[in-house]
Amino acid sequence: MQVLKNLSDLPSTAAFDVVVIGAGGAGLAAALFAAIDGAKVLLVEHTEHVGGTTAMSAGTTWIPGTHHGATVNPSDTLNDAARYLNNAIGERSPAHLRQAFLDNGALAVQRIEANSAVKFRACAKHPDYLSELDGSTLNGRALEPLPFDGRLLGEQFALLRPPIPEFTVLGGMMVDRADINHLLGMTTSFASLKHSAKLLLRHASDRLRYPRGTRLVMGNALVGRLLYSLSQRANVTLALKTSVDQIKQGADGVESVTLMQNGVRRTVQVKGGVILASGGFNRHPALRQTMLPGINPAWCPGAPGHTGAAQDLARGLGAHFSDTVNSNAFWAPVSLRQRGDGTQAVFPHFVMDRAKPGMITVNQAGQRFVNESTSYHLFALAMQEANKTTKAIPAYLICDAEALLKYGIGMVRPGGKGLAPFIADGYLTEGQTLRELAQKLGVDATGLEASISKINSYAESGIDPDFHRGETAYQHNIGDATAGGKNPNLGPLKIAPFYAVKLYPGDIGASTGLATDGDARVLNQDGQAIPRLYAVGNDMHSIMGGVYTGPGITIGPGFVFAYLAARHVVTSKVKDNCSNV
């Protein structure tokens, strides 16, 4: 792979079979699939890093029907998955697009694993989020990337977007959930001590030569594997810190793109097609105001390159956004804290705290308004809905001293140590009594005391009649079955001091995107494909229709439609060449 240091190094007569706009997870995958098929590929990225939000995520990839899934759930079928998606989504997205995803998922995984360093494994247990619906499963559909040795990237390791710093420990050591459990148990388990010692020694060695750890897991591992695989191919060119100024159509469809970098312009010819993979509209100033009204962009934990600029160019060629019935974005509750360097940390509360025993979430009246164990998407949507009647933005995630010690809360890690800086800067609020905590938060004290009295009684019975917390397999999976309660998601809040963190609804990715067909070709208002123009990832309208059905439902479809787009570009180009002979 050639990495362009300056756009001026690109010949004015340059031509490529495939131009991919955006080097997030879907864009990297599209470029790699096209390169595997022998295409000459130009990958254009607006920022200085590759990986997008995928690099900052857990990297879970939801693709039913793979050979990996069969190792943990051999009875699962594509018909089961289709039934689940139909039950969850209904008419919120075209059924034929969901079927194209299901029909080609296993093929995409087989293709990339056989021809690159990208490797997956099935999560042993990772339930679909709406596990109460018919067709759902407890495992087999969620894949995770194998850990990757970032040292293999050499100088290109610096091109990889780092993970969210607050998701690392000890100055940049990446850890996944298994690692966290080992680190917490290293004083009580020899196996955990051995695992932890290996991690710590590796990280100590890394820090002598690298600015952060090179043992990559989760989304960083997936992006690292994609980048490494591309780096091994001579038919790929990567242009960083480069924007697309124009997409030009000719008689046969898209024929060129004009690039910009530091005042330098280059127009490159496109022989096969342009694949949009720029990450969606989330940081587009105008679209954000109309599609996510009232949601501060400072609450978005996504990567910075998702400006929607490429979508604007596509709409100038006749493309249009599809309609999403449920939501224009996918969501998670987030907490905010200013870092020492002046930047703001935006921490998504996915699974580590809010659903655990001894945790409760309330609005300004001190009242619960949500099942704390529901998916992060539904949780944040509930915040927005509740805020229409009683202030629930911010909401307050509250725990007692015992829960803080066991699970941590947000950016405060388990163990109960080092709380002073978090309290001093206001990220964490502490009260010796619930009333004192309520007063510091500006929350109704009587309401808070009543809510916690209720949750304590529900913990005794194991039943939450108000919001049905802990009633599904998904909710149980993110609770704590070892806590000893009747319900793994319910526990009392009794041991002072009490603590709270403010939560905001953060958009973690676009759901609404450009209308496409089953080959990821962008459609115009008449439903006709715009020749040689494709969209994948969050530039493409989500096949989930704004419903968060399971872990990795942005990365999985992004990956599969990247495969379909690349395949269609290459096969169409071959047909065109044959017809011209």
HSE of 113, CA atoms in CB hemisphere, 13 A? 15
Q: What is the pLDDT of residue 195?
A: 85
Whether 301 contacts 411, CB under 8 Å: no
Per DSSP, the three-state class of 152 is helix
CA 279 – CA 240 distance, rounded (Å): 15
Q: What is the pLDDT of residue 185?
A: 78
Name the one residue in this structure whose structure tokens are 């940081």: 283
CA 415 – CA 473 distance, rounded (Å): 28
Residue type, 63: I
CA 211 – CA 218 distance, rounded (Å): 19
Per DSSP, the three-state class of 165 is helix
Chain centre to alpha carbon of residue 123: 16
| Residue ranges of the chain with per-residue pLDDT less than 50 | 579, 581
Helix residue ranges, H only, 398-532 = 401-407, 420-424, 434-441, 445-461, 473-477
Domains identified in the chain and CATH numbers: 330-507 (3.90.700.10)
CA 512 – CA 448 distance, rounded (Å): 37
Q: What is the pLDDT of residue 581?
A: 39
The tokens describing 436, both together, are 């004192």
